[in-house]
Amino acid sequence: MSEIRAEMVANVWQVVAAQGQQVHDGDTLVILESMKMEIPVLAESDGTLTKLAVAEGDVIQEGDLIAVIE
């Protein structure tokens, strides 16, 4: 299981992947916005996206869970 957590405070700009979807290492799951930049959050392994913990428009803090891949 791979947990993907936020590395900084950010706004969730776009949710690209869907829960239950098969993803591959390097796939874009979510795009965050921080410091006026777009910051893609990538899958860190192959697997199934079993949990997507954020929604577009959310404000997330450093360390917050974004997604779980199993």
Partner 1 sequence: MPLAAGLRASVRVVVGESDTAPALGSGDVPVLGTPRLLALAEAATVAAVAPQLASGQTTVGTSVTMEHRRASPVGSSLVIEAELTEVDGPRLAFSFVAREEHPRIAREEHPRAQAPGPEVPVTEAPGAPAPGAQAPGAQAPGADAPGGDERVVGAGTIERVVVSRERFLARAAAHHPGPR
Which residues of the shown chain bind partner 1 in the complex (CB under 8 A)?
Answer: 11, 13, 33, 35-38, 57
Q: Which residues contact 37 (CB under 8 A, 6 or more apart)?
A: none
- Minimal distance, residue 70 CB to partner 1, in Å: 31
Are 17 and 30 spatial neighbours (Cβ–Cβ below 8 Å)? Answer: yes
The residue (of 11 and 28) whose beta carbon lies closer to partner 1 is 11
The residue (of 1 and 36) whose beta carbon lies closer to partner 1 is 36
- Minimal distance, residue 11 CB to partner 1, in Å: 7
- Minimal distance, residue 25 CB to partner 1, in Å: 21
Integer Cα distance of 66 and 70 in angstroms = 14
